[in-house]
């Protein structure tokens, strides 16, 4: 099944992505497997800094993420609920 | 995510265990690569509530998001990259179901988490089981909203509207079955219908709109078929029941009554703005109807006597029950269901513990023998 952004209020197809190839999938798994030991070996405070930063960026960008005209229809819900608080 | 950034170290600190037979301690270590399959209905939040705890515990993940929200999937991955999450630690993949299955079979994948449909749950849980891999399944629900005879009517009606029509009725833990004791039915139902009728359909980016469209035309067609099937088995439409307008996947706010236990709707999840009403003779019958469901995700009970509502909650066969509130999910509270709503928990210390090895290290006393 292709990955498609469709505006459910109009039926308009906005953007389509093809599925990743098997080759890309296995490469992603190998990369993840390789990344695991270094990530797990990091002290909590280092991981905490990065995950905390992710949370901060999400909050900073929430208006854009929730309402970008290019992909707004991936969230058909009233905008307040497409954000997170 | 911030909650787990702040609390993961405390949750996963080694714990001393009480044993008279020696020195016992529990250590927590991450599994490795997790495969996470997430749904479209909260397209960022679902990713955040998985990535937050399980990246903090030291796991890494491959993320397969729902096919309808690819741009959210990419935007979220981009945010994590920008924050400094290294390559390979969080990877978005656009995959077919067959490809997901092949990943589960690979020994490098150590755990599988799904939030999605029962159909997907059966396929993925059995594949994980065949490989003897840990999995968590957050599936559908048909949560009961139990109105007791001493409920505060204004509040209960407002909560019923929020619980059923929030996110356009497309929430796994939304209120779906309204079980009302008979003495309250004539007071509750007309007010609930009047409030549902007032919902304003339209463009969800318009802040005055209170009900948007369903996620897709397929979702609309499914719920229209369910309504049709329900009425052909004797259900009555008290409100709505039809597609709204000619463009887009809009359903009128819908209320169905007269649903007997042999009606297919009695045991179905309605994933959209359609409420099912069930009168109950008394509190006992209300609990019996609430539990007569294949699902067991959440539920709620309404009463001005909180202790009484809590006693009802204790008897409801679900993973979560809320009192005088339809549903809520907070990072410090465990989220998950029983029965065909799945197994395992998300969020809280229970969620983060799903994908870590809880390893015992034990030094027996010298006189243990053996």
In angstroms, the separation between the Cα of residue A51 and the nearest Cα of chain B is 6
Q: How far apart are CA B180 and CA A49, in angstroms?
A: 49
Tokens 């007032």 belong to residue: B198
Work out the pLDDT band at A66, boundaries 50, 70, 90: confident
Q: Residues B27-72: pLDDT tens digits?
A: 999 999 999 999 999 999 999 999 999 999 999 999 999 999 999 9
Write out the two tokens for B29. 């270590």
For chain B, say whether A85 makes contact (Cβ under 8 Å): no
Tokens 């002290």 belong to residue: A43
Of B32, B211, B249, which has the smallest distance from its Cβ to A8's Cβ?
B249
Contacts 24+ apart (CB under 8 A), B251-255: B251/B169, B251/B214, B251/B220, B251/B223, B251/B224, B252/B201, B253/B165, B253/B196, B253/B197, B253/B199, B253/B211, B254/B227, B255/B189, B255/B192, B255/B193, B255/B196
Tokens 């609430």 belong to residue: B290
pLDDT value of position A71: 44
Of B5, B86, B109, which has the smallest distance from its Cβ to A35's Cβ?
B86
Query: Which residues in chain B are contacts of A36 at CB distance < 8 A?
Result: 30, 32-33, 59-60, 88
Three-state SS sequence of B3-70 = HHHHHHHHHCCCEEECCCCEEEEEEEEECCEEEEECCCCCCCHHHHHHHHHHHHCCCEEEEECCCCCH
For chain A, say whether B218 makes contact (Cβ under 8 Å): no
For chain A, say whether B222 makes contact (Cβ under 8 Å): no
Contacts 24+ apart (CB under 8 A), B265-270: B265/B226, B265/B229, B265/B230, B265/B233, B265/B235, B266/B292, B267/B142, B267/B293, B267/B294, B268/B142, B268/B226, B269/B140, B269/B141, B269/B142, B269/B176, B269/B295, B270/B142, B270/B169, B270/B176, B270/B223, B270/B226
DSSP state at residue B267: G
Among residues 13-52 of chain A, which lie with CB inside 8 Å of chain B? Answer: 15, 17-20, 22, 24-25, 28-36, 38-40, 42, 44-45, 47-52
Work out the pLDDT band at A27, boundaries 50, 70, 90: very high
Of A28, A36, A47, which has the smallest distance from its Cβ to B32's Cβ?
A36
- The verdict on a CB contact (< 8 Å) between B204 and A76 is yes
**Which whole-number Å values give the CA distances from B224 to A68, B33, B119, B234, in the listed order?**
30, 40, 20, 16
Q: How far apart are CA A54 and CA B256, in angstroms?
A: 43
Q: Residues B105-130: pLDDT tens digits?
A: 999 999 999 999 999 999 999 999 99
Q: How far apart are CA B43 and CA B212, in angstroms?
A: 16
Taking the complete model, does pTM exceed 0.90, yes or no? yes
For chain B, say whether A60 makes contact (Cβ under 8 Å): no
Q: How far apart are CA B297 and CA B54, in angstroms?
A: 22
B304 phi/psi in degrees, rounded to 5: -80, -10
Tokens 């009900």 belong to residue: B211
Among residues 328-367 of chain B, which lie with CB inside 8 Å of chain A? Answer: none
* Region B130-153 average pLDDT: 98
Judge whether residue A73 has pLDDT over 70: no
pLDDT value of position A64: 87
Which residue, B112, B90, B87, is CA-closest to B102? Answer: B112
Three-state SS sequence of A17-82 = ECCCCHHHHHHHHHHHHHHHHHHHHCCHHHHHHHHHHHHHHHHHCHHHHHHCCCCHHHCCCCHHHH
Strands (E), chain B: 15-17, 22-30, 33-37, 60-64, 90-93, 109-115, 134-138, 143-147, 175-181, 236-239, 254-257, 274-280, 295-296, 299-302, 322-323, 338-339, 342-343, 356-364
The active-site residue, picked from B138, B252, B269, B354, is B138
Query: Which residues in chain B are contacts of A18 at CB distance < 8 A?
Result: 94
Give the list of residues 6+ apart from residue B314 with CB closer than 8 angstroms, or none. Answer: none
* Region B225-252 average pLDDT: 97
Which of B57, B65, B82, B88 should we substitute to test contact with A (largest number of A Cβ atoms within 10 Å)?
B88
Please, is B44 exposed, middle or buried when counting C-beta atoms within 10 Å of its C-beta (0-12, 13-18, 19+)? buried
Query: Which residues in chain A are contacts of B70 at CB distance < 8 A?
Result: 3-5, 15, 17, 74
Q: Residues B260-319: pLDDT tens digits?
A: 999 999 999 999 999 999 999 999 999 999 999 999 999 999 999 999 999 999 999 999
Asked whether B221 and B242 are in contact (CB, 8 A), the reply is no
Q: Residues B185-196: pLDDT tens digits?
A: 999 999 999 999
Q: Round the average pLDDT of chain A to a whole number and report it.
A: 84
pLDDT value of position B204: 81
Of A11, A31, A54, which has the smallest distance from its Cβ to B1's Cβ?
A54
Q: How far apart are CA B188 and CA B96, in angstroms?
A: 46
């Amino acid at each position: 099944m292709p990955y498609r952004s469709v505006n459910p209020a109009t039926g308009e197809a906005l953007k389509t992505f093809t599925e990743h190839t098997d080759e890309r999938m296995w490469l992603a798994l190998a990369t993840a497997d390789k990344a695991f030991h270094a990530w797990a070996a990091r002290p909590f405070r280092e991981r905490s800094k990065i995950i905390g930063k992710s949370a901060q960026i999400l909050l900073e960008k929430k208006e854009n993420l929730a309402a970008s005209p290019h992909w707004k229809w991936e969230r058909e819900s009233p905008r307040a609920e497409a954000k997170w608080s | 995510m911030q909650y787990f950034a702040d609390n993961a170290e405390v949750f996963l600190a080694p714990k001393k265990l009480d044993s008279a037979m020696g020195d016992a301690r529990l250590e927590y270590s991450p599994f490795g690569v997790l495969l996470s399959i997430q749904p479209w209905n909260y397209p960022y939040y679902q990713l955040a509530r998985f990535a937050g705890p399980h990246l903090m515990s030291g796991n890494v993940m491959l993320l397969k998001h729902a096919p309808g929200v690819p741009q959210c999937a990419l935007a979220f991955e981009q945010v994590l990259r920008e924050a400094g999450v290294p390559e390979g630690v969080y990877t978005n993949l656009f995959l077919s179901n067959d490809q997901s299955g092949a990943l589960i079979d690979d020994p490098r994948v150590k755990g599988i988490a799904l939030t999605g449909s029962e159909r997907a749950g059966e396929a993925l849980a059995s594949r994980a089981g065949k490989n003897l891999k840990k999995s968590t399944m957050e599936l559908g629900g048909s949560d009961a909203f139990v109105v007791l005879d001493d409920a505060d009517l204004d509040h209960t009606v407002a909560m019923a509207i929020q619980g059923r029509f929030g996110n356009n009725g497309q929430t796994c833990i939304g209120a779906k079955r309204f079980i009302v004791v008979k003495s309250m039915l004539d007071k509750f139902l007309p007010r609930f219908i009047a409030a549902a009728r007032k919902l304003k359909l339209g463009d969800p980016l318009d802040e005055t709109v209170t009900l948007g469209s369903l996620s897709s035309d397929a979702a609309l067609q499914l719920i229209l078929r369910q309504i049709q099937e329900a009425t052909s088995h004797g259900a009555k439409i008290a409100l709505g029941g039809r597609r709204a307008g000619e463009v887009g996947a809009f359903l009128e706010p819908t209320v169905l009554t007269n649903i007997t236990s042999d009606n297919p709707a009695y045991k179905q999840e309605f994933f959209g703005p359609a409420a099912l009403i069930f009168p109950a003779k008394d509190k006992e019958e209300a609990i019996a109807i609430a539990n007569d469901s294949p699902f067991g995700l959440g539920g709620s009970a309404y009463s001005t006597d909180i202790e009484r509502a809590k006693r009802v909650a204790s008897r409801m066969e679900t993973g979560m029950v809320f009192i005088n509130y339809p549903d809520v999910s907070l990072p410090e509270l465990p989220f998950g269901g029983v029965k065909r709503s799945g197994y395992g928990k998300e969020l809280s210390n229970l969620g983060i513990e799903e994908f870590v090895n809880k390893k015992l290290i034990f030094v027996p006393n010298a006189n243990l023998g053996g």
